[in-house]
């Protein structure tokens, strides 16, 4: 039986795929402090994701990710990334990075609500 993927699982998988290394955490903090345009954020995500990678293990999320297209596949089972739909792709990956890492767009003039 397939274990359903929750929003918490998706967030955890996203963070592991994009910020699993100690230095990556520092880079995301620096990026959040200065803000980034969508194009800059896409470039940063492509750097963190790399050409192609992944990880899995017993009782652990299975991840596959690639910088081209900003694609991240997350599942509780090994999946075929050629036929499976990514959990995050393109603009959805950028939006999740803004949410997870608190990266503002300097061009966004909307006032922050307190």
- Interval 33-68: pLDDT, tens: 999 999 999 999 999 999 999 999 888 999 999 999
Residue 96 DSSP class = H
* DSSP one-letter string for 9-58: HHHHHHHHHHH-SHHHHHHHHHHHHH---HHHHHHHHHHHH-SSEEE--T
The pTM (predicted TM-score) of the whole model is: 0.90
């Amino acid at each position: 039986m397939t274990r359903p993927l929750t929003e918490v699982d998706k967030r955890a998988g996203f963070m592991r795929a994009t910020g699993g290394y100690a230095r990556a955490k520092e880079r995301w903090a620096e990026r959040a402090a200065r803000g980034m345009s969508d194009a800059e954020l896409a470039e940063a995500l492509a750097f963190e994701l790399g050409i192609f990678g992944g990880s899995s293990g017993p009782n652990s999320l299975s991840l596959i990710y690639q910088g081209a297209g900003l694609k991240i596949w997350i599942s509780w089972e090994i999946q075929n990334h050629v036929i499976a739909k990514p959990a995050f792709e393109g603009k959805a990956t950028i939006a999740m990075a803004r949410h997870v890492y608190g990266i503002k767009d300097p061009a966004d003039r909307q006032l922050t609500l307190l």
